């Protein structure tokens, strides 16, 4: 960036070093968001505050504020309330009880991960077909792209109704939705990756008289590995979204999505909704970091750029 190049070098002070990286600015932005969040609590929770504290208008501002950030049923929950509800749900409930966030996370995770595995395998198979057969490239690829413009989550209520009729386990529709949401990034990424070797490398394989299969395993697949990991990170996020949305309309079966619905329906469970929401975010971020970790390990062991560190 020119602006950076022209800027005076930051001082040797620890503060300068911290703010030149990413950690400092991110921390500042996060703190600003948390501060704004707390400030918003009083005006947004005013109605709920008056219900809990009929004489609220005559109290001091400090008293009003402290009360507003500790309400169980406000329009917005304060950050410390959300953290407390998450800690309670994750560590201080019987892990297989209906109120445990661990239990509900496991349900969401099981459908998301089965969808992820199915979707990744399907995505890779489609990509291999598209790369190797011209007719597949011509006929399948446009539909792969069109498939993503379809709001597939509109099918959720219907799938649940259908599978209720057929008496299939509830994980099936959720895993199918998750599969649908995650095969696409894998297909597109792998098509890019498998076609990433340049003509020179492909020609070299031909001079070695390599078969199609040998070219695939020794050149195309290794070249596609970085692309695969990039796609898997997008795919796993899609799976979690799919699983959660698929749980929303099915109230009673459990899962983080069903906790969202419960928190919406019962006023005294509002903190449950916030905790479920942030647990879902944590789950998503955690899985992405896991894939990122695997990526670094695998690429480093293959000696591909982007590995190590």
Partner 1 sequence: MTAFQSRGWLLSGVLILLSAFFPLADAAAPGFAPQAVLYAAALVFLLVGGRRRPGGASFAAALVLLVASAAALTAIVHRPDVAGGASWGFWLKAVGLWLASWMAVDGIADGEKAGASRWHDLAPAVLFGATLLALWEWIVAGFGIQPINLLAPSAIGAAVGYYAQTLVQDFVWTFLREVLLGWLVGSGAGFAVALVADRIPFLRRGLLPLGNIVSALPIVGIAPVMIWWFSYEWPSKTAVVIAMTFFPMLVNTVAGLAATGSLERDLMRSYGATYWPTLVRLRLPAAMPFIFNGLKINSTLAMIGAIVAEYFDGPTMGMGFRINTRAALSDSGIVWAEIAVAMVAGSLFYGIIALVERAVTFWHPSYRRA
Q: Which is nearer to partner 1, 19 or 53 (CB)?
A: 19
Q: How far apart are CA 60 and CA 28, in angstroms?
A: 30
Distance linking the first and last C-alpha atoms of the chain: 24
**How many H-runs (helices) and E-runs (strands) does the chain carry?**
16, 0
Nearest 5°: phi and psi at 130? -65, -35
Q: Which is nearer to partner 1, 29 or 121 (CB)?
A: 29
Q: How far apart are CA 40 and CA 44, in angstroms?
A: 6
Which of 8, 13, 96, 134 lies at the binding interface for partner 1 (CB under 8 A)?
Answer: 134
87 touches partner 1 (CB under 8 A) = no
Stretch touching partner 1 by CB under 8 A, among 84-92, 217-225, 231-239, 301-309 = 231-239
72: which 2 tokens? 């169980």
309 touches partner 1 (CB under 8 A) = no
- Nearest CA to 117 out of 175, 204, 167, 165 is that of 175
Tell me the torsion sign for CA atoms 293, 298, 301, 303: negative
257 touches partner 1 (CB under 8 A) = yes
Quote the least distance from Cβ 272 to partner 1, whole Å.
11
Residues numbered 67 to 86 that lie near partner 1 (CB under 8 A) are 75-76
Whether the CB-CB separation of 108 and 240 falls below 8 Å is answered with: yes
Residue written as token pair 């201080």: 92
Q: How far apart are CA 241 and CA 308, in angstroms?
A: 30
Q: Which is nearer to partner 1, 215 or 258 (CB)?
A: 258
30 touches partner 1 (CB under 8 A) = yes
- Nearest CA to 112 out of 281, 242, 259 is that of 242
E strand or H helix at 93 = none
Residues numbered 137 to 166 that lie near partner 1 (CB under 8 A) are 137-143, 146, 148-158, 160-162, 165-166
Which of 35, 66, 285, 294 lies at the binding interface for partner 1 (CB under 8 A)?
Answer: 285
How many Cα atoms are found within 13 Å in the side-chain-facing hemisphere of 268?
0
Q: In the stretch 187-226, what mask flags binding to partner 1 with x, by CB under 8 A?
A: ----------------------------------------
284 touches partner 1 (CB under 8 A) = yes
Q: Which is nearer to partner 1, 117 or 152 (CB)?
A: 152
Binding site for partner 1 (CB under 8 A): 1-4, 7, 19, 21-22, 24-26, 28-30, 44, 75-76, 134-135, 137-143, 146, 148-158, 160-162, 165-166, 233-234, 237, 240-241, 244-245, 248-249, 257, 260-261, 263-264, 270, 273-274, 276-277, 280-281, 284-285, 288
């Amino acid at each position: 960036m020119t602006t950076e190049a022209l800027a005076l070098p930051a001082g040797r002070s620890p503060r300068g070093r911290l703010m030149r990286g990413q950690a400092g600015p991110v921390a500042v932005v996060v703190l600003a968001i948390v501060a704004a969040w707390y400030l918003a609590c009083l005006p947004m929770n005013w109605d709920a505050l008056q219900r809990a504290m009929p004489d609220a208008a005559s109290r001091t501002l400090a008293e009003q504020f402290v009360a507003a950030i500790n309400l169980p049923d406000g329009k917005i929950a304060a950050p410390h309330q959300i953290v407390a509800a998450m800690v309670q749900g994750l560590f201080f409930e019987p892990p297989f009880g209906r109120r445990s966030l661990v239990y509900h996370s496991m349900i969401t995770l099981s459908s998301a991960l089965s969808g992820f595995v199915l979707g990744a395998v399907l995505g890779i198979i489609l990509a291999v077909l598209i790369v190797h057969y011209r007719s597949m490239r011509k006929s399948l690829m446009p539909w792969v792209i069109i498939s993503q413009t379809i709001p597939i989550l509109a099918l959720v209520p219907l799938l649940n109704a259908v599978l209720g009729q057929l008496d299939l386990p509830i994980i099936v529709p959720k895993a199918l939705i998750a599969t649908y949401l995650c095969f696409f990034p894998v297909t597109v990424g792998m098509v890019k990756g498998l076609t990433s070797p340049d003509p020179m490398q492909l020609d070299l394989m031909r001079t070695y008289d390599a078969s199609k299969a040998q070219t695939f395993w020794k050149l195309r697949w290794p070249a596609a590995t970085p692309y695969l990991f990039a796609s898997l990170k997008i795919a796993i996020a899609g799976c979690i979204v799919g699983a959660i949305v698929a749980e929303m309309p099915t109230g009673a079966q459990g899962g983080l999505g069903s906790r969202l619905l419960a928190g919406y329906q019962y006023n005294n469970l509002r903190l449950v909704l916030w905790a479920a929401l942030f647990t879902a975010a944590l789950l998503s971020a955690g899985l992405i970091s896991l894939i990122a970790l695997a990526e670094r390990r695998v690429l480093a062991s293959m000696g591909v750029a982007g590995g190590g560190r």
